[in-house]
Amino acid sequence: MNEVVCGDSLDELVLFPDEYFDALVTDPPCGIDLRKLTWDTDYGGRDGWIEAHRQIFGEVLRVLKPGAYALVWGIPRTAHWTATALENAGFEIRDVVTHVFGTGFPKGESLDKRIDRAAGMFDERPVIGEKEVLDYGANPEDYPTLGGKGVRLPRKIVPLTGPASPVAKRFAGWQTSFKPAGEPWILARKPHGTSDARAIIEHGCGALNSPECGVDGTWVRNVVMSHAPDCADDACAPGCPQLDLGKAARFFPIFHHSAKPGAKERHAAGSNTHPTIKSIDLMRWLVKLITPPGGRVLDVFGGSGTTGVGAIMEGRQVVLIEREPGFADICRRRIALAEAEMGEDLLL
């Protein structure tokens, strides 16, 4: 039975017996004050964050079968905290699956502007032209409803300025961070205390689904890729990672959808305001990779339920735990729609 539980995972996991789930696929907070979301940082700094997540992952360890795999999202800056929390909870860290995409946007002001500001010369920056920028308007909360394939976001024209101070001129065009193009999914495993083969015989989980997730049906590579939002079936748009890879792209699983879902996918079961929604295609692949057919997958940071939708579409059973009642409601709607769409194909 698929289930959405509303509550804190640390409290709610006691409802489940030992060795109940075949896999964990989850997208936890990342501790960087992501878009000022309280769930992300309210643990009292690095050590508090790791300890709070160790406690949750400790309970997850109990409810997973021996040898079961976990795929846990991280952001490059703090994925080591997530991995530490998993390891401190008793998981073995096995690998990292890198999800490559072309939709990430660098955040913040350009370096030469920041240097001019710090040097007190911002007002002296010469106007060297004009440029078009996205106009999010006065209400940033509209953000989740913007975008999607074929939707032209509002734009405005602003003056383009050049560096003023000598240091800003020297570092014009340099940056202090990357354009995000890859995110890690940490592959961890509950120790089984025996050989892999014996653990799989005894518990029926703990293998990687090469036939369905590997490009050539043998080995799964630990890189997975998404198209840019404007790619068509027969031609990629600028910014798509496939264009950079050229022929080598054939070695990697590539989703014909962007890393961030468009409005149609986001709102398919009614309004979905979750700010960090993942794409269904990605979650389907991750669930399918580590959960045996018909198996039971757990997500302890359910959000708006994309792991659940992916699991149902892949014929797996799912339990989602989500702390915020509004998001838990969205999970329930999306799960119900996925179940209805799968109909008789559901292997429950």
Ligand X SMILES: C[S@@+](CC[C@H](N)C(=O)[O-])C[C@H]1O[C@@H](n2cnc3c(N)ncnc32)[C@H](O)[C@@H]1O
Stretch that binds ligand X, among 59-67, 107-115, 128-136, 269-277 (CB under 6 A): 269-277
**C-beta of 115 vs 187, nearer to ligand X:** 187
- Shortest Cβ distance from residue 79 to ligand X (Å)? 13
- Out of 2, 78, 226, 276, name the contact with ligand X by CB under 6 A: 276
Of 3 and 324, nearer to ligand X (C-beta) is 324
| Sites for ligand X among residues 157-216 (CB under 6 A) | none
* 19 lies in the binding site for ligand X (CB under 6 A): no
Q: How many helices (H) and strands (E) does the chain have?
A: 13, 11
Give the separation between CA 10 and CA 234, rounded to whole angstroms.
46
Comparing CB distances to ligand X, the nearer of 102 and 303 is 303
Query: Is 103 a binder of ligand X (CB under 6 A)?
Result: no
Residue closer to ligand X by CB (options 13, 199) is: 13
Q: Which of 22, 29, 89, 168 binds ligand X (CB under 6 A)?
A: 29
Q: Is 27 buried (19+), middle (13-18) or exposed (0-12) by CB count in 10 A?
A: buried
Shortest distance, position 95 Cβ to ligand X, whole Å:
21
Dist CA 236 CA 20 (whole Å): 43
Min. distance of Cβ 67 from ligand X in angstroms? 25
Q: How far is the CB of 273 from ligand X (least distance, A)?
A: 10
Quote the DSSP letter at residue 229: T
Q: Which is nearer to ligand X, 56 or 224 (CB)?
A: 56
Using CB under 6 A, which residues numbered 280 to 309 contact ligand X? 301, 303-304, 306
Stretch that binds ligand X, among 140-148, 163-171, 272-280, 290-298 (CB under 6 A): 272-280
* Alpha carbon distance 15, 63 (integer Å): 10
37-45 own/partner pairs: CB under 8 Å, 24+ apart: 37/275, 37/276, 39/323, 39/324
- The residue among 201, 186, 184, 182 whose CA lies nearest residue 69 is 186
* Distance in Å, CB of 149 to ligand X, minimum: 18
* DSSP three-state, residue 23: strand
Q: Hey, which residues between 311 and 340 contact ligand X (CB under 6 A)?
A: 321-324, 327
Shortest gap between Cβ of 171 and ligand X (angstroms)? 34
Number of residues that bind ligand X (CB under 6 A): 20
269-301 as b/e: b if 16+ CB within 10 A: beebebebbbbbbbbbbbbbbbbbeebbbbbbb
Of 108, 46, 39, the residue nearest 77 (C-alpha): 46
Residues in Cβ contact with 156 at an 8 Å cutoff, skipping those fewer than 6 apart: 132, 133, 135
Q: Torsion over CA of 209, 212, 216 and 218, rounded to 10 degrees? A: 30
- In the three-class reduction of DSSP (H, G, I as helix; E, B as strand; rest coil), residue 82 is classed as helix
Structure tokens of 46?
């690095």
Least distance to ligand X, CB of residue 276, Å: 4
Show the binding pattern over residues 146-165: x = contacts ligand X (CB under 6 A), - = does not: --------------------
Q: 103 with 151: CB under 8 angstroms?
A: no
Q: Decide: is 265 part of the binding site for ligand X (CB under 6 A).
A: no
Minimum CB distance to ligand X smaller for 31 or for 163: 31
Cβ proximity to ligand X, 164 vs 321, nearer residue: 321
- Applying CB under 6 A, which residues contact ligand X? 8-10, 27, 29, 39, 56, 274, 276-278, 301, 303-304, 306, 321-324, 327
